[in-house]
């Protein structure tokens, strides 16, 4: 079946450090890919998405590129801030249309000043 | 748009009591999802609806759990009777065809 493997945390970085959170998936076809972020005490929010191969999703300084060859969608940010401390979830869509996303286990990021 | 609305935000109840969680999806969205999140098990999909029809309830843990969607703007998740191991944060999410889901703020349930 479809699944997603996400880098395990927790990840602790100093402010302005570079961030990479790895995500690989298995799926039939070419699903849309999403990253969600969950700040403490809140629900999940869509961070960015990519819908086809080589697309790059970006938002708030975060980027992720849809790599069909390696079935990966790694999340990157060049300079993290304390306010980026949250849990990040990788989520491929199994099929187009209204079917559930498959969420990774989440990676907790802590950024210290 | 107000986003996905969930109520109550917090619920504390005693074991054996009935609990009803409520969700109002974003207007115009035609799919609705119920998730449960715990430290031990992470984020679990319980059930989802398309056009008010339950499509997959294989994630519902036991017969004590039930969900309904009587119309496009309202859904409930009921636990009867509740048990301490049901303590978790329950999220509702909705979407419109793109796969992109929008989550509510969650209901934190504590069963003592």
Note the pLDDT tens digit of each residue in A70-102.
Answer: 999 999 999 999 999 999 999 988 665 567 788
- pLDDT tens, A31-77? 889 999 999 989 999 999 999 899 999 999 999 999 989 999 999 99
- pLDDT tens, B41-99? 889 999 999 999 999 999 998 899 999 999 999 999 999 999 999 999 999 999 987 67
Contact A43 B105 (CB under 8 A): yes
Under a CB-based contact definition with an 8 Å cutoff, are residues B34 and B67 in contact? Answer: yes
Cα separation of B109 and B112, whole Å?
Answer: 10
Cα separation of B97 and B30, whole Å?
Answer: 8
Among A43, A100, A106, the residue with its CB nearest the CB of B45 is A100
CA B11 vs. chain centroid, Å, equals 13
What backbone torsions phi and psi does residue A43 show, to the nearest 5 degrees? -80, 175
Does A3 contact chain B (CB < 8 Å)?
no
Give Dmax over CA atoms of chain A in angstroms: 42
Contact B93 A97 (CB under 8 A): no
- How many beta-carbon pairs below 8 A join chains A and B? 51
Strand-pair category, A107-112 with A11-14: parallel
């Amino acid at each position: 079946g479809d699944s997603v493997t996400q880098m395990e945390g927790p990840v602790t970085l100093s402010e302005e450090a570079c961030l990479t959170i790895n995500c690989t998936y298995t799926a039939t076809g070419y699903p849309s890919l999403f990253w969600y972020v969950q700040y403490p005490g809140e629900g999940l929010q869509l961070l960015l998405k990519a819908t086809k191969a080589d697309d790059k999703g970006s938002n708030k300084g975060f980027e992720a590129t849809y790599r069909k060859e390696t079935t990966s969608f790694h999340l990157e940010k060049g300079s993290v801030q304390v306010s980026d401390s949250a849990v990040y979830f990788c989520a491929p869509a199994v099929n187009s249309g209204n079917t559930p996303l498959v969420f990774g286990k989440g990676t907790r990021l802590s950024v210290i000043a | 748009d107000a986003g996905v609305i969930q109520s109550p935000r917090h619920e504390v109840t005693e074991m054996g009591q009935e609990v009803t969680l409520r969700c109002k999806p974003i207007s115009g969205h035609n799919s609705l999802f119920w998730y449960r999140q715990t430290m031990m098990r992470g984020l679990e999909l319980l059930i989802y609806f398309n056009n008010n029809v339950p499509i997959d309830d294989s994630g519902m843990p036991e017969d004590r759990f039930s969900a309904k969607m009587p119309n496009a703007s309202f859904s409930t998740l009921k636990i009867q009777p509740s048990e301490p191991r049901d303590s978790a944060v329950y999220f509702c999410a909705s979407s419109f065809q793109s796969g992109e889901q929008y989550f509510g703020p969650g209901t934190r349930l504590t069963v003592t």
